[in-house]
């Protein structure tokens, strides 16, 4: 599969995975929180297959998962759940990219 559609598919899946546990939480502006989380995780899923060509996809996933998760973790002070999801999700997306993406 080419990387552009792969990134869109992985971004949508990762975005949904990120917001499902948030649905039962309370936020002052729940719609904004869910939309922001979805967009952030969509970006992670989209960029891993499409950015930094020549870098191993798993390393790319780890790097982008950390870098794109860090601002949200700092702003919300929810370091562990946000960073763990970014690292684990980024690595999984990197593995999927390595298995089914184009070089």
- For residues 77 and 14, what is the distance between their CA atoms, to the nearest angstrom? 21
**DSSP for residue 52:** S
Q: How far apart are CA 44 and CA 42, in angstroms?
A: 5
pTM assigned to the model: 0.93
The answer to whether residue 95 scores a pLDDT higher than 70 is yes
> What tens digit of pLDDT does each residue of 2-11 get?
999 999 999 9
Is the pLDDT confidence value at 17 over 90?
A: yes
Neighbouring residues of 33: CB distance < 8 A, sequence distance ≥ 6:
22, 25, 27
Closest residue by Cα to residue 71 from 59, 83, 88, 85: 83
Domain boundaries, the chain: 3-100
């Amino acid at each position: 599969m080419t990387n552009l559609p792969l990134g869109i598919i992985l971004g949508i899946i990762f975005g949904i995975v990120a917001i499902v546990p948030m649905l039962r939480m309370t936020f002052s502006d729940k719609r904004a929180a869910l939309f922001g989380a979805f967009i952030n995780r969509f970006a992670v899923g989209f960029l891993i297959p499409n950015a930094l060509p020549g870098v191993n996809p798993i390393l790319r996933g780890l790097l982008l998962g950390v870098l794109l998760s860090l601002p949200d973790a700092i702003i919300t002070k929810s370091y562990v759940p946000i960073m763990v999801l970014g690292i684990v999700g980024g690595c999984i997306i990197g593995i999927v990219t390595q298995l089914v993406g184009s070089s």
